[in-house]
Amino acid sequence: MKSIQTKDFSLKHTLESGQLFRYSQENNGWRINHGKNSFYVEQNYDKLVFKGIKKEELEEFLGLKQDFKKIKKELSRDNCIAGLFEQLKGLRIMKQEPWECLIGFICSSASNIPKIKMNLNLITQNFGRNGRFPLIGELNDIELLKDCKAGFRAEYLFKTNKIATEEFFKKLNDMSYEDAKKELIKLPGVGEKIADCVLLFAYNKFEAFPVDVWMKRVMEELYLKKETSVKKISEFGRHKFGRYAGYAQQYLYHWRRKV
DNA sequence: GTCCAGGGGTATC
DNA sequence: GATACCCATGGA
């Protein structure tokens, strides 16, 4: 087993914050399945011990190369967020494969995390090859998608699978947050919320501020103090927290769901 | 703005 | 174990 020394990182908080779906506990650590990879990681204090993935790739995936100090410092100007950085020490935003991330969040609409996990595991079983997540273009059977318990989302998955290409995902890298979001929203089953999740979790465009029912609740409780539309909360969040708004969002979301 | 589209989770009895 | 309501929503 290989190892990495980390600082300000919690594998548990990171994995359990609802960003990623195909992971499970194994021995004293976690089995993570993502894209073409299946690997094992465990954390002993500041040391990560792992196998099945290259060190560089794991560091990128877990967000270990981010300037976390700077992110924490900037967001801690807000007292609530400063407190959450202490309470949920080491929660980071990962960098996922765009395709799997997109499919996961299309499944997420009006659903819940255990069910999304089930959908993705079934999709991997039914369309992937030996435990590997299916490639772009391989979700080409509407009936089989329905067998993955995707329900009304099966059609979105089927259509998006036909439109998306490797180049489509590649070009979003070089685009601004706003432009990339416009492109993603063109896909069937992708609105503002899902586009924001993909931009945040797969492209690390930290301005993205996804607002679901939990975020609506926590923002109304802590900041707005009154009923506010999702659209206004999203604008408020980006304006209030600035270039790292998505990070603030992830702490607020995880905290509100846990407590 | 309202309504509807799987189906598992969760609370309550 | 039945039942009712909820949900990392988008689209008509």
Residue A76 CB neighbour total at 10 angstroms: 15
In what side-by-side order are the strands of the sheet with A37-44?
A2-5, A47-51, A37-44, A29-34, A23-26
Q: What pLDDT shows up at residue A150?
A: 98
**Closest C-alpha to A17, from A194, A247, A226:** A247
The Cα–Cα gap between A48 and A61 comes to 13
Query: Does the structure show a pLDDT above 80 at A112?
Result: yes
* pLDDT tens readout for residues A165-197: 999 999 999 999 999 999 999 999 999 999 999
Mean of per-residue pLDDT scores for chain A: 97
A30 close to A11: Cβ distance less than 8 angstroms:
yes
List bases, strand C, within 7 Å of protein CB: 6-11
Q: What pLDDT shows up at residue A97?
A: 98
CA of A189 to C1' of C8 (A): 14
- The reply to whether the CB atom of residue A160 sits less than 7 A from any atom in nucleic acid chain C is no
CA of A231 to C1' of C7 (A): 19
Percent of chain A with pLDDT over 70: 100
Token pair, residue A196, equals 């924001």
The Cα–Cα gap between A33 and A184 comes to 24
Which residues in 34-93 of chain A line strand C, with CB less than 7 A from it?
Answer: none
Task: Tell which phi-psi region holds residue A130, choosing left (phi > 0), alpha (psi between -120 and 50) or beta.
Answer: left
Q: What pLDDT shows up at residue A259?
A: 72
List bases, strand B, within 7 Å of protein CB: 1, 5-10
CA of A33 to C1' of C8 (A): 20
Phi, psi of A190 (to 5 degrees): -115, 115
* pLDDT tens readout for residues A17-53: 999 999 999 999 999 999 999 999 999 999 999 999 9
CA of A117 to C1' of B10 (A): 17
Judged by C1' against the alpha carbon of A154, the nearest nucleotide is: B6
The Cα–Cα gap between A217 and A215 comes to 5
**Closest C-alpha to A65, from A94, A32, A38, A106:** A94
Position A42, amino acid: E
Which residues in 168-227 of chain A line strand C, with CB less than 7 A from it?
Answer: 185, 187-195, 197, 210, 212-215
